[in-house]
Structure 1
Amino acid sequence: MKKADVAEFYLRLAELNPEPKGELEWVNPYTLVVAVALSAQATDVSVNIATRKLFAVADTPEKMLALGEDGIREFIKTIGLFNTKAKNLVLMAQQLIERHGGEVPRDRDALEQLAGVGRKTANVVLNIAFGEPTIAVDTHVFRVANRTGLAPGKTPLAVELKLEKVTPAPFLLHAHHWLILHGRYICKARAPDCWRCPVVDLCRFREKRLTPPKSSSAGTATPAP
């Protein structure tokens, strides 16, 4: 995608949603780390349902550790991979207490050393909790970046680095939110809603669906973010 088209791409998404927000619910940086870690191979909706009750009793590493693996499991057993995630939350709580005084570090390398935390989770936390202009590449961002021609890459890291390079500075802070929401609600995996896409003329996707399916209409479809 040409430099001018990239700027226009983000400008249109920004005009539609000037202050995009993540859809996971959290109350402090620690609960954000937990929520993002739990969202792996799970929907934000399912995570929010579980964490509303979990965070009511355990919103710090100390409280999570006191709850214990069995206690945590009872709250998150409706989420995929809940056994592994319960173990990771206990270990993560221990690590935060022992290494960081119970505080979430504002450092990608330190975050990635926590149990259950990878680069994507670290980038989300840095962006949302600390206002860092990081770009977290999940399946939605990866798809949108490649499909549209915005920042093609064979791996999430390659896409992340390309997005950081091509995204104009004024749009960096919210870039991954715009791309996630665009991928979740419009540029969907199996059947993208190109017919209602605000950047369809800039997109390099060759198999655009420019008319709505017969079972849907512009009046009943999910609104653009």
Structure 2
Amino acid sequence: MRTITKRSLFATAVAAAALGLTVTSASATAQATFTIVNPNANGSFTASLKAGTTADLLDTVTNQSVTCYSATATGTATNGVHANGTNLVQIATATFGNAVSDPCDGPLGSSFSAVSTSAINLNATSYAGGITSGSLSNVHVTLTGDTLFGVCTAKISGTASNAKYNNATGELSITNGAGLTVSGVSNCASLMNNGDAAKFSAVYKVAKPLTVTSP
């Protein structure tokens, strides 16, 4: 009787372990897939700031902001099924305002413009009801401003949270995207400081809307 009990316990343990390994293995390999349908066969896209909205960068430490009334982006969204949402869309170029014709409004009557200095990645983490949610990573943007104190420059880097793409409207929105940091500050008179946290908000309209689905 004692031998049977030991064998039963051993068999149960082995079965539980096997089940545990099966569940763990399935969990490890299961990843959300995303499918992109891009009307441009070459996978390119262009986008601009939605009419009537602004692109806003806020230094959350000094509470000073830069507000832009125009912004553009170009990049690549490759047609087909993607194994996961990492680097799902690449934003090759991004500009904010124009120093001469359409400057962004900065603190104390200053005027700014900004440009990305590296490709920005849109990472998808979830999908529901035609809306893909995620973040913008590898953000590196250089700000240049004409201020009372001279030419102010600064860099904004990091990953911006709260990014969403809506199939129905063809809009990419970033709402109080946190995770950005200010660096490389020069001649900005404490309007921005190295190490300050920053947030970014904007709504972009894609010229020829993409369709993103999952699974």
Same fold (TM over 0.5): no
TM-score by length of 2: 0.24
TM-score by length of 1: 0.23
Q: Which structure has the larger Rg?
A: 2
